[in-house]
Amino acid sequence: MNKIFGSRYGELLKPMLLALLLGLGLLAEAQEPLKVVTTTTTLGQLVERIGGAQVQVTVLGKGTQDPHYLEAKPSYMVKLREADLVVAVGLDLEVGWLPNVLRGARNPRIQVGQSGYLELGPTVEPIERLEGKVDRSEGDLHPLGNPHFHLAPLRYARAGQTLAARLAELRPAWASNFATAATVLTADLTDKEKKWSARVKATDLKEVVTYHRTLTYFLNRFGLQTVGEVESKPGVPPTAKHLMEIIKRAQEKKVSCLLHESFFEVAPSERVAKSSGMSVQVVPTEIQAVPEVGTYEALIERLILALENCRQLRSKSL
């Protein structure tokens, strides 16, 4: 190659080669954004943060909807028909509706096993995996693990790194941009998580009650435990007998905080709280679940504030 460039012929080729390389670079810059469809608002924001200008994001579920129970709407199939990538939680969170939507879309790029389909839940070391045969009479169980990993900030950041790698497969020219965005997100959430941890520690709370098992990753990360859920079984409304058991358990352990996920009817939790002296804090678990939560940081901030509110109310009652 050096001999060629050293010759007169090579000198003539130089501008042509440079023009070709420049053209390829401009071509990469001019690529249309990837059409990415996500199942939840929280994943939608993750794609936007990692993908930047190279992604066009469509979210199927609203922040106010429980992603377990969306319907396989024809409008969803239309949105997936032209998609380059579908990003889901996985771990059976969307098992009741997403497979039908994928089939109805008739888009071979985004079927399970293809580069255009990505489940992030299995990539972040899910907790609460179930061994052996699963008995569905025990409720809406997730044998592969709890799917609500996004409420642990560094697991969310880790999912961003996995996402960056997949986006790089689909847009190699932008691989470094995706990797940089994932690194920035990890650093930012690492710093914020330290501050959030200090605030949780300052509440002096050790145990809480929740309505559903949505908050397990969050509680584990910030050193809290749950003494039980208001639901009788996952996805099953509570019986009177179960409510009495939770009330008794909360009283015995002197639990002061009940975190109620905003997807669910609050009356059962209010009954438990009233009978046991707990404070009910209705909390969002997805971005846009409530109007004030438009970012991931705002979502975690609301959960931290709920714990701080419990602490303040407990102090007033003493």
Quick check: 3 pLDDT over 60?
no
Amino acid 61: pLDDT: 96
DSSP 148: -
- CA-based radius of gyration for the chain: 24
pLDDT of the residue at 15: 56
Within 8 A by CB and 6+ apart from 181, the residues are: 49, 50, 51, 52, 160, 164
pLDDT for 312 equals 75
* Least confident residue range of 34-38, 42-46, 86-90, 310-314: 310-314
Asked whether 262 and 231 are in contact (CB, 8 A), the reply is no
Residue 5 has pLDDT above 50, yes or no: no
Does the pLDDT value for residue 4 go beyond 50?
no
Average pLDDT of the residues of the chain: 90
Query: What average pLDDT does range 71-97 have in this prediction?
Result: 96
Q: Tell me the DSSP string of 187-243.
A: HHHHHHHHHHHHHHHHHT--EEEESSGGGHHHHHHTT-EEEEESSSBTTBPPPHHHH
Domains of the chain: 31-188 (3.40.50.1980), 204-317 (3.40.50.1980)
**Who has greater pLDDT, 6 or 66?**
66
What is the arithmetic mean of pLDDT over 213-231?
96
pLDDT 10s digits, 35-62: 999 999 999 999 999 999 999 999 999 9
> What pLDDT does residue 233 have?
87
Residues 6 or more apart from 280 whose CB is under 8 A from it? Answer: 258, 260, 266, 269, 270, 273
Q: What is the pLDDT of residues 107-135, one digit of tens each?
A: 999 999 999 999 999 999 999 988 766 66
What band does 143 get if pLDDT is binned at 50, 70 and 90? confident
Q: How does pLDDT run across 147-187, given as a tens digit for each residue? A: 999 999 999 999 999 999 999 999 999 999 999 999 999 99
CA distance 227 to 37: 37
Distances (CA, A) of 121 to 58, 148, 316: 19, 8, 40
